[in-house]
Amino acid sequence: MKRLVGTFAALILTASLQPAITAERQAQSPKPAAGAIAIVGGMLINGHGGQPIHQSVVLVENGTIKAIGTVDSLKVPAGARVINARGKTVMPGLIDMHSHSDIVGAGVYDDRFFGAAPVVPEGGWHPLSKARFKEFVGASEKHQLMAGVTMAREVGGFLDADLYIRDAINRGEIQGSRRIVSGPWINYGDPALTDKLFHTINVNTADGARAAAINLLDVHKVDLIKAYNNLTEPMVKAIVEEAHKRGKHVASHVRSHEDLVMRIAAGIDSMEHMGATTGERYTQETLDLLAESRLAVVPTLNVGLVYKETEEFPERLEDPAALALFPAEFADLIRRSARDFTNLRYFDGAKKANKGGTQARFKQLLDAGVRILMGTEAGTPLNFHSTAAAREMVWMNRLGMDALDVIVASTRAPAQFLREDQKYGSIEVGKVADIIAVDGNPLFDMAVMHQVSLVMKDGIVYKVEGAAASQSSTAASRLR
């Protein structure tokens, strides 16, 4: 555990604590059970944006989707495990394009990012999370998986935590979403302070930015790079060049229209938090540039709107679903840290955004035809992994995005961006069986995304609620 809580300076000078996933390590991953699984009777939304298939049957074998049909056209094999999805909507597993697993929605986030000591006084959140790190992230990861997120992009975090989480999930040590991780972000600043900013690598030259990117990509085997706000054009270009050379993408923040122009010209791949934070409405020039570039925009509406939700309904802080998987000590600390949430500096911008800025800016992006992908910023204050994806999708729909488009932006479109759409993101024959079901119809009411009753990842059933399961062909016949 000491290695997990050491300074980033030590980490940056040594080889990765968790090296890249090798074929040998992948072989240790959990395997789907032998035999077929049939998900029968639900309305199927396949992720492509077309019309749903009613009374569907999805047949899964050996972790992949074997056949798709209806109860009238596809016979369930004798001996298959049958999951009754009647009254439910079956869809691809969700892909969260902006998540954080080393934080869990606790208010002491302020102590980490706003200039206070990196470790809060004894009895606070950080000492306990460090002392019981595996238990801590295990609960966090399971929350997100049980909410229907089968893949998540980790965009900015402690290097050792990100690598441990990704590799532990791939080895089957932790139940969680498949992770794509960046480790710390690269920012303009004094390199001497890097060891005090565990989540940041500070650079002050283009050569320094290039070296930081190479180190993260080649030594620590991260899956993407996060380029933060204050970098110069030569720094961004150096980072992008090294990432693209290795087939990796670069996620970025932006401060202004001029900064956006520079970063698009430098070749960044996704822009984070656009539309979620406070600020003036976008100019037509900015909107046209975003639409023409086909840059992926991840709004993370939760950033601007979770404060509003909690202010209007503080009872959500006692939601059993948000706390259920945490040990009692963790749950108590989360509650206590959030009680005075109105005074958290993290929400200074959100208070302004709630005057209508978030809603207006997202509508501008939508109307301009900007490429929008779902990302939650899960883990930040009040933004619990157990509800973040559903809340983000509800807000996207409420602010004007068509319900079917919201689902595509949360499944197939992220897989396409990640160049993983040959395996993930839609329910098609031959693809990996990442499948979820929700109670009700999200095309009518997106809030049913809070009611995830089935979670399957890699053909393994991690959650099944309110859905009768049987191994008998007789039971399968009764469902037809």
Residues 120 and 230 in one domain: yes
Residues 412 and 440 in one domain: no
Domain stop point among 417, 439, 461? 417
Does residue 207 fall inside a structural domain? yes
User: For the domain that residue 57 is a member of, what is the CATH number?
Assistant: 2.30.40.10
Higher confidence at residue 252 or residue 344? 252
User: For the domain that residue 326 is a member of, what is the CATH number?
Assistant: 3.20.20.140
Does residue 4 fall inside a structural domain? no
Does residue 422 fall inside a structural domain? no
Does residue 58 fall inside a structural domain? yes
Does residue 121 fall inside a structural domain? yes
Does residue 268 fall inside a structural domain? yes
Residues 103 and 142 in one domain: yes
Q: What is the pLDDT of residues 263-320, one digit of tens each?
A: 999 999 999 998 776 667 899 999 999 999 999 999 999 988 998 889 899 888 887 7
Residues 289 and 159 in one domain: yes
Range of the domain at 173: 94-417
Q: What is the pLDDT of residues 380-427, one digit of tens each?
A: 888 999 999 999 999 999 999 999 999 999 999 999 999 999 999 999
Q: What is the dihedral of CA 314, 318, 321, 327, to 10 degrees?
A: 140
Residues 140 and 180 in one domain: yes
Residues 276 and 185 in one domain: yes
Residues 125 and 44 in one domain: no
Residues 85 and 102 in one domain: no
User: pLDDT at residue 9 above 80?
Assistant: no
Residues 371 and 474 in one domain: no
Does residue 16 fall inside a structural domain? no
Q: Does residue 159 sit in helix, strand or coil?
A: helix
Cα→Cα distances 282→113, 139, 251, 258, Å = 27, 39, 20, 12
Does residue 9 fall inside a structural domain? no
| 430 neighbors 65 (Cβ within 8 angstroms) | yes
Determine the straight-line distance between the first and last CA of the chain, rounded to whole angstroms: 52
Which DSSP string corresponds to 368-422? Answer: TT-EE-----BTSTT--TTTHHHHHHHHHHHTT--HHHHHHHTTHHHHHHTT-TT
Residues 357 and 247 in one domain: yes
Domain stop point among 363, 394, 417? 417
Q: Does residue 61 sit in helix, strand or coil?
A: strand
Q: What is the pLDDT of residues 463-478, one digit of tens each?
A: 998 644 444 333 333 3
Q: What is the pLDDT of residues 36-60, one digit of tens each?
A: 999 999 999 999 999 999 999 999 9
Q: What is the pLDDT of residues 147-191, one digit of tens each?
A: 999 999 999 988 988 999 999 999 999 999 999 999 999 999 999
Residues 436 and 405 in one domain: no
Residues 278 and 412 in one domain: yes
Which DSSP string corresponds to 322-360? Answer: HHTTS-HHHHHHHHHHHTTGGG-GGGHHHHHIIIIIHHH
| 244 neighbors 202 (Cβ within 8 angstroms) | no
Encoding tokens for residue 184? 């710390």
Domain stop point among 417, 436, 464? 417
Question: How many domains are contained in the chain?
Answer: 2
